[in-house]
């Protein structure tokens, strides 16, 4: 059972809503047949408290910005790279990501999105797309194994540090909007596309 998962050590430090140490194993939320999937890093305290993903400060900020461009749980699936809260909300380790990969792969296969928007460096590098998020945000990558497009952008936790007028917030909104548009209309005008082939199914 997923909520009894012991694939990594995070269950030992993850308090569930019942006040017990166990895997939170919060799966994604939204439309399971969506053409757009938004992939974030992991859950925080508020998500654990409520037993739902994307309800803490970063999640609410993400929802505010996604709603402003027409992305909702009706047309999008939202999920996380890692399903348990990490201690002090540190980025998940490669071992934890590896352990949780099976769940994510299952979700991506089931949703079968046309576009995945990856939030932040850790999530983007899961698809072997490297380079630093400020450089690669807004670029288009074809993921051959799943046959979808990956569009990296900032993590909302980073965007939160800026004022509403800041360039980073404008670019974040622009990337979300671009992801939605491509998921609806495909790639219309020629874009510099980077192809890559995962060397094994485990990399996707």
96 contributes a contact to ligand URA by CB under 6 A: no
Tell me the pairing of strands 148-153 and 36-40: unpaired
Q: How far is the CB of 69 from ligand URA (least distance, A)?
A: 18
- Our finding on whether 152 is near ligand URA (CB under 6 A) is no
Cα 182 to the chain's mean position, in Å?
A: 17
* 44 binds ligand URA per the rule CB under 6 A: yes
Nearest to 134 by CA among 120, 116, 149, 118: 120
**Of the listed pieces 9-17, 52-60, 128-136, 173-181, which binds ligand URA according to CB under 6 A?**
52-60
- Distances in Å between the Cα of 83 and the Cα atoms of 27, 48, 86, 162, 189 are 7, 10, 9, 27, 37
Rounded least distance, CB 28 to ligand URA, Å: 9
Contact (Cβ atoms closer than 8 angstroms) between residue 117 and residue 175: yes
Q: Which residue in 30, 56, 152, 179 binds ligand URA (CB under 6 A)?
A: 56
Nearer to ligand URA, 22 or 80 (CB): 80
Member of 58, 76, 122, 124 binding ligand URA (CB under 6 A): 58
Rounded-to-5 percentages of helix, strand, coil across the chain: 40, 15, 45
Among 16, 23, 34, 47, binds ligand URA (CB under 6 A): 47
Measured distance CA(196)–CA(204) in Å, rounded = 11
- Name the site residues for ligand URA (rule: CB under 6 A): 40-44, 47, 53-54, 56, 58-59, 80
């Amino acid at each position: 059972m997923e909520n009894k998962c012991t694939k990594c050590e995070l269950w030992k430090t993850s308090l569930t809503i019942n006040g017990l140490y166990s895997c939170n194993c919060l799966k994604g939320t939204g439309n399971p047949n969506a053409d757009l999937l938004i992939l974030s890093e992991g859950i925080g305290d508020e998500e654990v408290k409520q037993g739902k993903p994307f309800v803490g400060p970063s999640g609410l900020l993400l929802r505010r910005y996604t709603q402003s461009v027409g992305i909702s749980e009706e047309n999008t699936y939202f999920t996380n790279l890692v399903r348990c809260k990490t201690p002090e909300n540190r980025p998940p380790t490669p071992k934890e990501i590896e352990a949780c990969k099976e769940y994510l792969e299952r979700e991506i296969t089931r949703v079968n999105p046309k576009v995945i928007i990856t939030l932040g460096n850790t999530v983007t590098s899961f698809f072997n797309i490297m380079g630093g998020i400020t450089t690669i945000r807004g670029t288009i990558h074809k993921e051959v194994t799943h046959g979808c497009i990956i569009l990296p952008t900032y993590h909302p936790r980073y965007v939160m540090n800026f004022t509403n007028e800041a360039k980073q917030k404008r670019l974040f909104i622009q990337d979300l909007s671009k992801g939605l548009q491509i998921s609806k209309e495909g790639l219309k005008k020629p874009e510099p596309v980077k192809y890559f082939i995962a060397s094994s199914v485990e990399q996707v």
